[in-house]
Amino acid sequence: MRLTVAQALLRFLQAQHSERDGETRRLIPAVFGIFGHGNVAGLGQALEECGPDLPYYRPFNEQSMVHTAIGYAKAQRRRSALACTSSIGPGATNMLSGAASATVNRLPVLLLPGDIYATRQQGPVLQQLEHPISADLSVNDCFRPVSRFFDRISRPEQLLTALPEAMRVLTDPADCGAVTIALPQDVQSHAYDYPARFFERRSWRIERRPPDPQSIRQAVAWPKEASRPLIIAGGGVLYSEASHELETFSEEFGVPVAETSAGKGAVRRSSAMLLGGGGVTGTPAAAKAMSEADLVLLVGTRLSDFTTGSHSAFQNADVRFVHVNVSRQDACKLGALPVVSDAREALRSLTAAAREAGLKPKAEHARDLTGAKERWQRTLQSEVFAPRPGEAMSQGELVGILNAEARAGDVVIAAAGSPPGDLLKLWDASGGRACHIEFGFSCMGYEIPAGLGVRLAGAPGEVYVYIGDGTYLMNPTELVTALQEGLKITIVLSENHGYQVIRQLQMARAGRSFGNEFRSRDPKSRRLDGEYLPIDFAKNAESMGARAWNVRTPDELRRALRDARAEPRSGVIVVETEKHRFPPPSGVWWDVAPAEVSEDAGTRELRRAYERDRERLQRFYF
Ligand SMILES: Cc1ncc(C[n+]2csc(CCOP(=O)(O)OP(=O)(O)O)c2C)c(N)n1
Ligand SMILES: [Mg+2]
């Protein structure tokens, strides 16, 4: 079939499917893109010819479209991915943060940046980076470290090898992430006689790799000796759709569960075994369980420093780890006994083996943790969800109200600032009130585009985007895409007048407030500590066509949330919140080093305290 490279690429994508558990879906059901000279005559022409079988969506920022694709892939549990096409130069480099977010979070996205002319004669073309000693290098080479597969198509027939590889990586649970196929501007329009067989329907089975029986036997031999076991559930539980198996194992053998950010909502029931979020931004109950655990069953987590407290959270001198993960790299972290496997398959095998071994819950351990959990519940009621006289609403109160108003089928999204920590600590995901936290790359600006991705993936209820004022200011523009496409999202914006989570960290590690609040430059101090800026977020949202509400009180927030549910359009609820009020800490340490030398006595004291804590808490596990 004589086709251009761009036409062949899209025709190939139209024929690709994924299959898991007997369910087949289109692997790449849509393409997002912003055109420029680097892709308009190539991919743009081919997309227009495709018609509705491969719908095209036009966003307003290339980074955002990759974030939409990530939100979509996460909501699809990695069964489908979106493609994103950009022009060359800045259009392409705008996708880099998205590529890194996808790769860090192990979520499949297909990136198709335009590239400089393969024929070279006409260069430097507009937006070309000229490297003094490397003529085959372009800005797209920046995608290499943030992609799980990279190729540049400098001849049409290269598609025949590149595209199957791309599909293999996108559908591999251990290898997936950003896949980048760079497409030189001229080559996109070149024609070639492709074999018709290349475009035949193809299905990529997303494997459920079973565990090695010997590692299962070894893994269940350990819990018999353990008196304080704990499960840490990561994103892998959600991607593998292993919630039922996780709940069964945890409840049958009385093993409490803490969830990571990516794994938030892995336990769907209101289970007595659930300790909530674990790690730096988790609950004190989970922190206690982590600190005391002598056996930790890790399931599908990459063990970021927020989970391990920078290798300080597990304080039991005899602690041992078993790690179920599709990636052997992750499974071997912390010196764990690796169970390289799909989470659902491994949990089923572990449950069967534990039954056979006659494993029983440890009553004393369960009682102990129930006490810690009840204390946390009391703190929530008396401190976190309760109003404080003379203060604006706290973000804790905000989350409590949003959680109470949420219904089955709704999903709340957060990624940067204090919102992801708030949700990990406070959100109750039982009753089908799903939670989607991106805290692998924690990229400000992920939230609104991801909301579109979650909606596009078919969220049945409300899609709430819980976002800080700073993050909203970084990237509110995909609201326009939401309205253009009728993809309804409801943004709940906490107006606390600054990058307050960073200010809080700064106060704890540097001791002085500097540069984080939204204040004008003071003529005397010549610093940003003048008046707070009067930013009208509601007007900003309205100017893009969204509905907007300004709220200050809990009742106003409840009313706005109900209005928003009834409203077909996307909207923004701007909530005035207390600037420096945060929910109580988990007690888990985090390694952020204060300056080793300073003129300031306060900073020196913070450094001393940091060194004491580091010495006392941080460990090597091997
Ligand atoms: C793209 C990007 N730039 C910088 C950061 C570092 N950062 C993390 S949170 C944050 C402040 C977020 O402010 P806001 O959204 O208002 O949330 P708040 O801290 O007030 O809760 C910053 C700058 C980041 N995570 N992502
Ligand atoms: Mg803020």
Task: Give the three-class secondary structure for 488.
Answer: coil
Q: What is the band of 255 on the pLDDT scale with cuts at 50, 70, 90?
A: very high
Per residue in 376-415, pLDDT (tens digit) is 999 999 999 999 999 999 999 999 999 999 999 999 999 9
Which residues are CB-neighbours of 8 under 8 A, at least 6 positions away?
1, 156, 159, 192, 194, 198, 199
| C-alpha distances out from residue 231 to 253, 265, 309, 347, 392, Å | 11, 14, 16, 11, 37
Rounded CA-CA distance 106/247 in Å is 24
pLDDT in tens, 60-105: 999 999 999 999 999 999 999 999 999 999 999 999 999 999 999 9
Return d(Cα 152, Cα 13) in angstroms, integer.
17
Ligand nearest, relative to CA of residue 495:
2
Which of 501, 517, 572 has most ligand 1 atoms within 8 Å of CB, for mutation?
Answer: 501
The per-residue pLDDT of the chain, averaged, comes to 97
What pLDDT was estimated at residue 506?
Answer: 98
Contacts of 371 by beta carbon, 8 Å cutoff, 6+ apart? none
Residues 601-616, mean pLDDT to the nearest whole number: 98
Question: 450-496 pLDDT, tens per residue?
Answer: 999 999 999 999 999 999 999 999 999 999 999 999 999 999 999 99
**β-pair type (191-193, 2-4):** antiparallel
pLDDT at 366: 79
- The one-letter amino acid code at 486 reads G
Strand (E) or helix (H) holding 379: helix 363-379
**pLDDT for 14 beyond 90:** yes
Q: Counting Cβ atoms within 10 Å, is residue 349 exposed (0-12), middle (13-18) or buried (19+)?
A: buried
Distance from residue 505's CA to the centre of ligand 1 (Å): 12
| Structure confidence by residue, pLDDT tens digits, 198-218 | 999 999 999 999 999 999 999
Q: Which atom of ligand 1 lies at the shortest distance from residue 395's CA?
A: 21
What Å distances lie between residue 103 and 10, 67, 108, 595, CA to CA? 23, 12, 8, 32
pLDDT in tens, 342-354: 999 999 999 999 9
| 412 alpha-carbon distance from chain centroid | 12
Q: Which residues contact 450 (CB under 8 A, 6 or more apart)?
A: 67, 68, 70, 71, 74, 413, 415, 436, 438, 465
pLDDT (tens digit, 9 = 90+) per residue, 55-64? 999 999 999 9
Q: For the beta carbon of residue 200, count every other beta carbon within 10 angstroms.
A: 9
- Closest among 97, 100, 112 to 35, alpha carbons compared: 112
| Residue scoring higher pLDDT (430 or 224) | 430
- Whether the CB-CB separation of 538 and 525 falls below 8 Å is answered with no
The protein residue whose alpha carbon is closest to atom 1 in ligand 1 is 444
How remote is the CA of residue 151 from the centroid of ligand 2, in Å? Answer: 40
**Banded model confidence at residue 146, pLDDT cuts 50, 70, 90:** very high
How much is the average pLDDT of 42-54? 96
Global model pTM greater than 0.85 = yes
277: three-class secondary structure by DSSP:
strand
Taken as a whole, the chain contains a residue count of 622
CB of 399 shorter than 6 A to ligand 1: no
Is pLDDT at 368 greater than 90 in this prediction? no
Beta bridge mates, 490: 464, 571
CA nearest neighbour of 591 among 279, 143, 166: 279
Query: 64 in ligand 1 pocket by Cβ < 6 Å?
Result: no
The pLDDT score that the predictor gives to residue 494 is 98
Task: Give 549's strand partners.
Answer: 573
Ligand 1 within 6 A of CB of 417:
yes
Q: What is the pLDDT of residue 223?
A: 75
Q: How far is CA 140 from CA 99, 123, 185, 537, in A?
A: 11, 16, 13, 36
Nearest CA to ligand 1 atom 15: 468
Q: Is the pLDDT of residue 365 over 90?
A: no
Cα 414 versus chain centre, distance: 8
Closest CA to 257 of 245, 284, 275, 269: 275
Nearest-angstrom CA–CA distance, 236 and 246:
11
Please report the atom of ligand 1 found closest to the CA of residue 415.
25
Neighbouring C-alpha atoms within 13 Å toward the C-beta of 247: 14
Cβ of 415 less than 6 Å from ligand 1: no
Task: Please state the separation of Cα 352 from the chain's center in Å.
Answer: 32
pLDDT of residue 326: 98
> Which residues, chain by chain, have CB under 5 Å from ion ligand 2?
468-470, 496, 500
Quote the distance between the C-alpha of residue 502 and its chain's center.
Answer: 19
Pocket test for ligand 1, best of 96, 104, 495, 499 (most atoms within 8 A of CB): 499
Query: pLDDT over 90 for what percent of the chain?
Result: 96
Residues in CB range of 415: below 8 A, 6 or more apart: 437, 438, 439, 442, 443, 444, 446, 447, 450, 471
Residue 112's pLDDT is what? 99
User: Which tokens belong to 296?
Assistant: 């930790």
Residue 451 in tokens: 């909301």
Distance, C-alpha 124 to centroid of its chain: 38
Ligand 1: centre distance to CA 470 (Å) = 6
Query: What's the rounded mean pLDDT across residues 11-36?
Result: 98
Question: Does residue 347 come out as left (phi exceeding 0), alpha (psi in the -120 to 50 range) or beta?
Answer: alpha
- Find out whether the peptide bond into 55 is cis, omega within 30 degrees of 0: no
Asked whether residue 224 carries a pLDDT value surpassing 80, the answer given is: no
Confidence at residue 222, expressed as pLDDT on a 0 to 100 scale = 80
Rounded to an integer, what distance in angstroms lies between the CA atom of residue 436 and that of residue 427? 11
284: tokens are 């004190």
> 518 C-alpha to center of ligand 2: Å?
9
User: Is-contact 285 426, C-beta < 8 A?
Assistant: no
Regarding the beta carbon of 470 and ligand 1, being less than 6 Å apart is answered yes
In whole angstroms, what is the distance from residue 24 CA to residue 10 CA? Answer: 19
What would the two tokens of residue 93 be?
């480099």
Write out pLDDT tens, residues 493-534: 999 999 999 999 999 999 999 999 999 999 999 999 999 999
Nearest CA to ligand 1 atom 8: 417
Minimum CA distance residue for ligand 1 atom 10: 417
pLDDT confidence bin for 33, thresholds 50/70/90: very high
229-240 residue pLDDT tens:
999 999 999 999
> 128 Cβ partners below 8 Å, 6+ apart?
88, 89, 116, 138
